[in-house]
Amino acid sequence: MATAKKGHIEKFLTNADNAIQEGIKKADEILKDAVEFGAMTAKQASKTSKELQNQAKKEKAILEKRGIAKIAEGMTVAKNISSNAQDDLEILKQLDKLRKSKVITEKEFQSKKKKILNRI
C-alpha cells in the first residue's frame, strides 16, 4: 500500500509541476504581448507628441504674426495721435495769434481751444 500511495503522490506532484509550467508559459506569453502592446503605445504616444509639437509651432508662428501686426497697428495709431497733437498745438498757436490781432474774439478763442484740448 505504501507503494500505491507513493505513486499517487508522485503523479500528483508531476501534474502540479506540469500545471505550474503551463501557467509560467502562459504568463510569459501574456508578458510578451504586454511588452509589444506597450511598445506600440509608446510609438503612438511619440507620434502624437510630435504632431502636437508641430501644431503648437504653427500656432505660435500665427500668434507671433498677429502680435507683430497689432504692435505695428498700435505704433501707427500712436504716431497719428502724436502728429495730430502737434497739429492741434499749431492750430492753438494760430488761434492765439488771431485772437491777439483781434480777428477772433476771446470767447471764440476759448471755445475753439476747449474743443482742441478735449481732442488731445
Q: By C-alpha distance, which of 101, 100, 93, 58 is closest to 112? A: 93
| SS3 state of residue 39 | helix
pLDDT for res 84:
76
Q: What pLDDT tens digit does each residue of the chain (120 aa) get?
A: 455 566 788 888 898 899 899 989 998 898 898 888 888 888 888 888 899 999 999 999 999 999 899 888 888 877 766 667 788 888 899 999 999 999 899 999 999 999 888 876
The total domain count for the chain is: 1
The domain in which residue 90 lies consists of 2-119
Spatial distance between the Cα atoms of 31 and 9, rounded to a whole number of angstroms: 32
Q: How far apart, in whole angstroms, are the C-alpha atoms of residue 34 and residue 28?
A: 10
Within 10 angstroms of residue 95's Cβ, the number of other Cβ atoms is: 19
Question: Would you state the cell numbers that stand for residue 72, as one nine-digit string?
Answer: 505695428
Q: Residue 80 has what pLDDT?
A: 67
For residues 84 and 42, what is the distance between their CA atoms, to the nearest angstrom? Answer: 62
Specify the pTM: 0.42
